[in-house]
Amino acid sequence: MSKSAVIKGTSYVLVHTPEFVIHNGTTQTTERLVNPDSTYLAALPNHIRSYEDAVAYPPNQVFLGSKKPEILSGIEMPWCNTKLEDAKRFGTYGELMPEDEFYGLVAICDVFDLVILETDFAAMVKEKLAGHPLIGEDLISRIRDGISRDNIETYVKEEHGEPLFHKGAMVGYVKRAHDIDETLSAHVLFENLVYKASSVLALLHLIKNTDINKGDIDYVIDCSEEACGDMNQRGGGNFAKAAAEIAGFVNATGSDTRSFCAGPAHAIVEAAALVKAGAYKNVVVFAGGTTAKLGMNGKDHVKKELPILEDVLGGFAVLIGQNDGINPEIDLSLIGRHTVGTGSSPQAVISALVTEPLDRSGLSITDIGKYAAEMQNPDVTKPAGAGDVPESNYKMIAALAVKQGVIERTAIPDFVAKHGMPGFAPTQGHIPSGVPYLGFAREDILEGRIDKAMIIGKGSLFLGRMTNLFDGVSFVVRKNRGDATGDGTSEAVSDTSVKKPVIGIAAEDSELGSDVVAEGIALAEKRGFIVKRIEGVDCHKKMDELLAGKGIDACLTMHYSFPIGVSTVGRVVTPGRGKEMFIATTTGTSSADRVEGLVKNAIFGIIAAKASGVKEPTVGIANIDGARQAEAALLRLRDGGYDIRFANSARRDGGVVMRGNDLLAASADVMVTDPLTGNLLMKLFSAFTTGGNYESTGFGYGPGIGENFDKLILILSRASGAPVIANGVEYAAQLVENDWKTIAKDEFAKAKEAGLASILGEIKERSKSSDKNTDTSTAETEAEVAMPPKEVVTAEIHGIEVMDIEDAAVSLWKKGVYAETGMGCTGPVVLVHPDKEEHARNLLAEGGYIHQ
């Protein structure tokens, strides 16, 4: 596999900070100095937006990933006139944090006792933060008890403290850290602490979004436009480590990269190079937000009767890691660079950043699916006379394409629409610089909408008065080229004539740690199996994509919601004789009816055993409730012509019903049981030599089998140890090599021919009549209720009785909520679209299916 670094995930955060606009934005602080009685300052408070309005603001929802950038094209400008009704604080990539909670986070990030909050305010903030899903007690306990308001006012006056306001009241202050040193003044420290806190928020969301262990991050790069140090080393740094410390990345070192707004693009190229070179494995590039730029264009917004649109801090984080064969690669052969000699004409800049790298690789401007240069929200910039910045960048790229003869001049608008997108990022300098699209780019590439995206960072170095130069760097993110190629140079490909199955492992939840999974994979590879590890929070999505696209032939995973009718056949080595035995089944649910389920499990077990090379497997039924009825049904099936070989108990009285002793001795090749008992047996057989929490023997919980279920997904436990993982790979490879799909099809066909349907029908009829209460409640069938439009269902609702699960789903359909049923790891679940989860829960609670 190529060594290219990949983008494993992103996070984007916003913080609503109306008071910082008034007290800290440089437009306002400057105005207060030069023109303290200005009409602007007087009018300003009337133009401040509420938190709810900031949340409902369409570009903010796009930045958080809840909406696609394209929706903005359909909204009339100014966008601030539109409030999205379904807007939420938490989005796909992060959140929009309110000001009061953010003060708490600022206090958490203070390690020098510089932030002092007022007593009641501190208590209130602590209480609010206790409800935050990502900020734990360890962080909250860092907020110290407050002091009285009178004391705050005294300190602000006498000690040059920077006052902190919320809803117009003074709620705390930041101390200066030195009496003379300007770089340690309260104003600068506040700015830096705000920056640090918004960075930490982005880091916490990145951890959640990528599911990586904090300890696995070994390098962090901060790429903002802030400076921290003292008067002897004004830009000493290192924001990166300061934020990583609070976020808990104990194994990370790091550094700061600066180049005005081009910083993020430089930092990502550096990170990709570090990973590709092998210096570090997991590098996080991040930046927080800046108070100085809040309300930067406020005068124009007020003049045009608009709200102050620059009222949020922005932040982002990106995880760059080793090639996993799935996530989009950062192609270091396609870097665009603005050099000292490039010059500053827009044409020279865009040529250097866009066409030069493409020309080097023989690509055309139109080969890049999407470009992302400066994603500033035009709602902010247009009223200020700075135009639509992303649009002019796209026009520049289109104009170059015209000059190169790739497109006609009249095609510029089409090019802009196809290869660009509306700007949606807050004007926080480095934040909008190309990177806001990375989250969407990753999704667009993973889901096949585009192959390549170019991210362009541009920086105004001349503002620092050290040079008149401009700066810029660009890089290309492209679809993962998998095993076959690496940066254009092909590596050895395994001989296709002896093509071995590729087994995926999406095991992100191991209780034993990521290392154990790696150990299991290494063990399997040593035995000659081909394994592909799938990582990230969305590993199940990737797994499904890879299975569908034949990138892998089978996959091992933990927690998978199989549909009802599918359950897994485990495989263990029994202690009595060291003999292998299939446990049918171990997770999932074959049927809501116990006896029907046992009968089906017998067939599933036979399929798994045959596909694992056991030609004529013997079947026994564990001595559990329903065993006798299942035995009778299976006998009828045999009489109908289905070739089933019954095992004989090793106990003196024999028979097909197996006692505990038979389990230990593996008297049957296939042991039929209900999945809950089967699951229990799996754990006993797998962990009885280790004291319990490390499952060291056997082959895991096995493949999900069911009629018409054609994906090969095998289940591992979160406690599956390295040998079990390796055996699981072997189990999967055998099933693929023995063509399990055909075997399953044959067995189902034969059972059907032997009258399976009527036998199962009778079983169900009997159990129904034995439970008269269910007759009326289940009268309504799915067919009588119109199915709402199908949608992606990923939110699991637990706690519904297995007998009621189908009725629960139908009850949601009746209310227009599309739902599916499945088996979660702790029982049956109803699956709905995440946006409808709350509504569905309420409906299910009303219907008595769950208790809220």
Interacting residues toward other proteins by CB under 8 A:
30-31, 34-35, 38, 261, 296-297, 299, 343-348, 350, 374, 376, 381-382, 384-387, 389, 392, 395-396, 398-400, 402-403, 409, 412, 427, 429, 432, 460, 462-463, 468, 470
C-beta of 28: minimal distance to other proteins in Å?
12
Measured distance CA(433)–CA(547) in Å, rounded: 35
Residue 505 β-bridge partners: 533, 556
**Which CB sits closer to other proteins, 27 or 66?**
27
The catalytic residue positions are: 825
C-beta of 375: minimal distance to other proteins in Å?
10
- CB-based contact 419:397 (threshold 8 Å): yes
**Which CB sits closer to other proteins, 171 or 400?**
400
Distances (CA, A) of 757 to 197, 217, 753, 761, 803: 62, 54, 9, 6, 20
C-beta of 31: minimal distance to other proteins in Å?
7
Measured distance CA(575)–CA(563) in Å, rounded: 33
Number of C-beta neighbours around residue 701 at 10 A? 34
**Which CB sits closer to other proteins, 386 or 632?**
386
Q: What are the φ and ψ backbone dihedral angles of 572, each rounded to 5 degrees?
A: -130, 170
Helix (H) or strand (E) holding 272: helix 263-277
Measured distance CA(92)–CA(362) in Å, rounded: 36
C-beta of 261: minimal distance to other proteins in Å?
8
Measured distance CA(456)–CA(473) in Å, rounded: 6
Give me the helices (H) in 141-254, please: 149-158, 186-210, 239-247
Backbone dihedral region for residue 816 (phi beyond 0: left; psi -120 to 50: alpha; all else: beta): left
**Which CB sits closer to other proteins, 261 or 523?**
261
C-beta of 541: minimal distance to other proteins in Å?
35
Strand duo 489-490 + 485-486: pairing: antiparallel
Is residue 221 classed as helix, strand or coil in its secondary structure?
strand
**Which CB sits closer to other proteins, 71 or 469?**
469
Measured distance CA(410)–CA(220) in Å, rounded: 45
C-beta of 295: minimal distance to other proteins in Å?
13
Measured distance CA(505)–CA(532) in Å, rounded: 6
Residue 286 β-bridge partners: 222, 317
Residue 695 β-bridge partners: 720
**Which CB sits closer to other proteins, 425 or 671?**
425
**Which CB sits closer to other proteins, 380 or 670?**
380
Query: Which tokens go with 827?
Result: 């029982």
C-beta of 62: minimal distance to other proteins in Å?
18
**Which CB sits closer to other proteins, 427 or 717?**
427
C-beta of 53: minimal distance to other proteins in Å?
22
Query: Which tokens go with 372?
Result: 């992302």
Look up residue 702 and give its amino acid: G
Measured distance CA(361)–CA(381) in Å, rounded: 35
C-beta of 392: minimal distance to other proteins in Å?
5
**Which CB sits closer to other proteins, 344 or 690?**
344
Instruction: Find the radius of gyration of the CA atoms of the chain.
Output: 31
Quote the DSSP letter at residue 367: G
- CB-based contact 628:647 (threshold 8 Å): no
Give me the helices (H) in 536-659, please: 539-548, 594-611, 627-639
Number of C-beta neighbours around residue 46 at 10 A? 9
Measured distance CA(312)–CA(307) in Å, rounded: 12
Query: Which tokens go with 303?
Result: 């003049």
**Which CB sits closer to other proteins, 344 or 364?**
344
- CB-based contact 195:226 (threshold 8 Å): yes
Strand duo 702-705 + 566-573: pairing: antiparallel
**Which CB sits closer to other proteins, 34 or 493?**
34
Measured distance CA(812)–CA(829) in Å, rounded: 13
Look up residue 614 and give its amino acid: V
Measured distance CA(207)–CA(204) in Å, rounded: 5
C-beta of 467: minimal distance to other proteins in Å?
10
Helix (H) or strand (E) holding 256: strand 253-256
C-beta of 205: minimal distance to other proteins in Å?
25
- CB-based contact 349:338 (threshold 8 Å): yes
Cα 71 to chain center, whole Å? 22
Q: How many residues does the chain have?
A: 852
**Which CB sits closer to other proteins, 376 or 586?**
376
C-beta of 397: minimal distance to other proteins in Å?
10
Q: Is the dihedral of CA 432, 433, 434, 438 positive or negative?
A: negative
Is residue 562 classed as helix, strand or coil in its secondary structure?
strand
Distances (CA, A) of 231 to 120, 184, 186, 300: 36, 8, 14, 36
**Which CB sits closer to other proteins, 390 or 678?**
390
Measured distance CA(699)–CA(679) in Å, rounded: 13
